[in-house]
């Protein structure tokens, strides 16, 4: 009888030890899974942040160019259009979201948003220069409608500068949806203003597809 009791006690100890080992393994596996999942989320967020910074820098680089160095003072030549394409970026192709990345551009920022496994990711970066999310034709039409002139050197705006500035600030609040599969056009545009002191100009950057 004593041997039987001892055997039962040993068997019970074995089962308890086995259960404890299984429980510890489950906890360890869950911790590792959480760690790997957290690392993947961290990498995905880093990739979105990089793309937002990369696009912002491409736009800011255009804005920082000195047009007086690019063109002679008496030249009316326009700035050249440049292009940016998200799908051509290796970081974009490596994203875990596939093509399900929402990209928006306004006069103030670039925004990227995505979801993966029920979790949301986003990256927003502000521009350093005045941005308008549409092309030259749309801009000229808006200026003609509001001021009766298109803002070119041959058709300068003649309204009060404060009024013009407020108008451009309002235009910049609009958001444009960017298709990452297509080229994004970036172009620096000069807006000419005529007052009693003569003709002056300020620059803005047009972003459109």
The pLDDT tens digits of the residues spanning 140-153 come to 999 999 999 999 99
Joined tokens for residue 201: 């100009």
* pLDDT at site 69: 44
Q: Is residue 58, in this structure, part of any structural domain at all?
A: yes
Separation CA 68–CA 53 (nearest Å): 27
Residue 55 CB neighbour total at 10 angstroms: 24
pLDDT band at 54 (very low <50, low <70, confident <90, very high): very high
Residues 6+ apart with CB under 8 A from 178: 86, 103, 104, 105, 184, 209
Mean pLDDT, residues 24-50 taken together: 66
* pLDDT at site 196: 87
Least confidently predicted of 84-88, 133-137, 159-163? 159-163
Nearest CA-CA partner of 139 in 185, 70, 82: 185
* pLDDT at site 190: 92
Q: Is residue 10, in this structure, part of any structural domain at all?
A: no
Domain count, the chain: 1
pLDDT band at 22 (very low <50, low <70, confident <90, very high): low
pTM of the model: 0.75
Separation CA 163–CA 113 (nearest Å): 34
Dihedral pair phi/psi, residue 89, rounded to 5°:
-85, 130
Q: Is residue 30, in this structure, part of any structural domain at all?
A: no
Q: Is residue 95, in this structure, part of any structural domain at all?
A: yes
pLDDT band at 31 (very low <50, low <70, confident <90, very high): very low
pLDDT tens for each residue of 104-158: 999 999 999 998 878 899 999 999 999 999 999 999 999 999 999 999 999 999 9
Nearest CA-CA partner of 191 in 175, 173, 206: 206
Taken in order 12, 17, 22, 23, the sign of the CA dihedral is positive
Range of the domain at 169: 35-208
Q: Is residue 153, in this structure, part of any structural domain at all?
A: yes
Q: Is residue 19, in this structure, part of any structural domain at all?
A: no
Nearest CA-CA partner of 186 in 52, 104, 81: 81
pLDDT over 60 (residue 20): no
């Amino acid at each position: 009888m004593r041997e039987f009791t001892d055997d039962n006690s040993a068997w019970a100890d074995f089962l308890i030890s086995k259960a404890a080992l299984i429980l510890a393994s489950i906890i360890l596996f869950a911790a590792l899974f959480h760690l790997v999942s957290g690392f993947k989320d961290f990498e995905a967020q880093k990739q979105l942040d990089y793309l937002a910074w990369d696009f912002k820098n491409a736009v800011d680089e255009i804005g920082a160019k000195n047009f007086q160095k690019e063109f002679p003072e008496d030249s009316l030549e326009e700035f050249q259009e440049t292009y940016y394409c998200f799908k051509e970026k290796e970081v974009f192709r490596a994203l875990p979201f596939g093509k399900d990345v929402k990209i928006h551009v306004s006069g103030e920022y670039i925004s990227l948003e995505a979801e993966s496994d029920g979790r949301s990711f986003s990256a927003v970066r502000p521009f350093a220069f005045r941005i308008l999310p549409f092309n030259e034709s749309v801009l000229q039409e808006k200026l003609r409608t509001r001021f009766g002139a298109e803002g070119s050197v041959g058709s300068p705006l003649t309204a009060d500068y404060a009024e013009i500035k407020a108008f451009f600030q309002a235009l910049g609040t609009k958001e444009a949806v960017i298709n990452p599969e297509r080229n994004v056009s970036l172009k620096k545009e000069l807006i000419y203003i005529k007052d009693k002191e003569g003709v002056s100009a300020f620059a803005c950057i047009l972003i459109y597809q």
